Structure 1
């Protein structure tokens, strides 16, 4: 079973915070074939929505705070952003951006778990979230990299009610009988600059072809296409502005 539409507690959206939204739009069009639609209103700050065909799948926005890294932010659906933010602080997390409206689309907040991994929550209005999930070009998996797996399990299970399932040496997150993500250790990333974070994986028809295209158009290959034991074929990349993302073979999530 896989999640194919926004579901409370599950990933529903991903947003890229970047130093150059137009350049990012060109890059991801080459990599995933995304179409970009930039909100023309001055107050939007260049907010750009990416789509596969007519289905909205992700967005990009300029960096809005000093020191904000160029990065993808994973967003989880919630019926109540205020209540979720309060629950996060009650169990040791932090509120980075207090709940606020994004035009008529919905209400969001940016939060962090006790180890510092940032994520967002989305209370939908006119936009429920991604209009395509677990299909080529769309979000297919999310992964937490952390140095304290035990605390992460306690935190996310309490905040979101996720199930936790061991798959060999790999921990998977689920809700309603569907696994949507996993957890690895920071040390497994094998880079000294890595801090706790959430990483989105986008489903693709061919990991090898997409990885080559992503590298050839200005990105950097951080992890070459690899077959995970008893899992999918994956690769990890960094876009030209520095945001890291993963890709996996479509149809192998969970």
Structure 2
């Protein structure tokens, strides 16, 4: 399966009216570096690529629009036709937040909200088949590298929290063909792994029950979740949940950043196998 096949979660975006505030928070917290896309700085809009420490290629972006009060952080899902997918997902109960928009001669995107109001993006690449093949192979190699040698600060998971697991699972299965299976390593927690097409999971679904919270958030790999969560608080964030741990040693927390956006932190079990010795991988 190609990295760029429809249904894969390949990117995340922070949409904000204050890009510098986002950089001032996430840069010190996760070691990110930033590079402005020179072709995007038009009409008060700036698109800034985000790189994990030591990585030469981006994993996400800050979308700054000084004229918009929108504050979101969302995962981006590959689409073969954003407009057609938006029509199809509307019939499943989703809502169009930003209609399909052509942003260059090779890229289109749109934003939607699922049945629980969680925002996600659809991303379409319209490069020629030859260039798209090269891009997909390069992206796959990059993700393989990141999985084999995990980089702290990287976008390495996504998580859906839900107050209605049945309808949420049904929506994403029908929307993108995702396979959702109970995570037997979660120590009895109502947690399921999400397979977006690969033989390894790339995200998870947490059933919080009727009194819980709904979200769709990116999660970032760190070496020390408690220390990083404490640092996030010092930078103005709120720890919404955790740190908590699974029986296998995985530690995680859920954070609300100073602009009100939710994201996750996690550290892998110390003795977790890597793709160098197994088919299991951690990748977005």
Q: Could you say which TM-score interval applies, normalised by the shorter chain?
A: 0.7 to 0.9
1:30 to 28, 45, 60: 28
Deviation at 1:18, TM superposition (A): 2.1
Q: Deviations over 1:225-245 (max 9, x none)?
A: 221244621112222222121
- Does 1:248 pair with 2:261? no
2:131 equivalent in structure 1: none
1:94-148, CA deviations, whole angstroms, 9 ceiling, x for partnerless residues?
Answer: 2221111223562111112223222111112578789656532221111112222
Q: Which secondary structure does the structure 1 equivalent of 2:258 belong to?
A: coil
Tell me by how many angstroms 1:79 deviates.
Answer: 2.0
- Higher percent of residues as strand: 1
Report SS of the residue matched to 1:92: coil
* Pair 1:203 & 2:221 matched: yes
| Distance in 1 separating the partners of 2:246 and 2:2 | 23
TM-superposed CA distance for 1:44, in Å, is: 6.3
Once residues 49 and 148 of structure 1 are traced to their aligned partners in structure 2, the CA distance between those partners, rounded to angstroms, is: 34
CA deviations on 1:155-192 (whole Å, 9 max, x unpaired) are 111111111211243122112322111222355885xx
Q: CA deviation at 1:84?
A: 1.7
Residues 30, 214 of structure 1: 8 Å contact kept: no
Please, what TM-score do these two structures have when normalized by structure 2?
A: 0.75
Paired residues for 1:1-254 under 5 Å: 5-40=3-38, 41-43=41-43, 45-52=45-52, 53=54, 54-62=56-64, 68=70, 70-104=71-105, 106-125=107-126, 132=143, 135=150, 136-167=152-183, 168=188, 169-174=190-195, 175-187=197-209, 194=213, 196-230=214-248, 232-250=250-268, 253=282
User: 4+ residue runs of structure 1 moved beyond 6 angstroms?
Assistant: 64-67, 126-130
Find the aligned partners of 1:149 and 1:101 in 2 and give their Cα distance. 34
Higher relative contact order (CA 8 A, sep 6+): 1
Structure index of larger Rg = 2
Q: Deviations over 1:31-78 (max 9, x none)?
A: 11111122353246122111123120111123588663x221111112
* Structure 1 partner of 2:278: none
Q: Deviations over 1:179-219 (max 9, x none)?
A: 111222355885xxx4x320111112222332232222332
Query: Does structure 1 retain, via aligned residues, the 8 Å contact 2:164–2:210?
Result: no
Query: Which stretches in structure 2 are left out of the alignment for 5+ residues?
Result: 128-134, 273-281
TM-score (norm 1): 0.83
**Runs of at least 5 residues in structure 1 that lack an aligned partner in the other structure:** none
Aligned Cα root-mean-square deviation (Å): 3.0
The whole-number CA distance in structure 1 between the counterparts of 2:112 and 2:6 is 16
Structure-2 change in CA distance of 1:39 and 1:94 (3 Å) = same
Residues 110, 210 of structure 1: CA spacing in aligned structure 2 closer, same or farther, 3 A cutoff? Answer: same
Query: Helix, strand or coil for the counterpart of 2:46?
Result: coil
Q: Distance in 2 between matches of 1:67 and 1:186?
A: 29
* Aligned residue pairs, count: 247
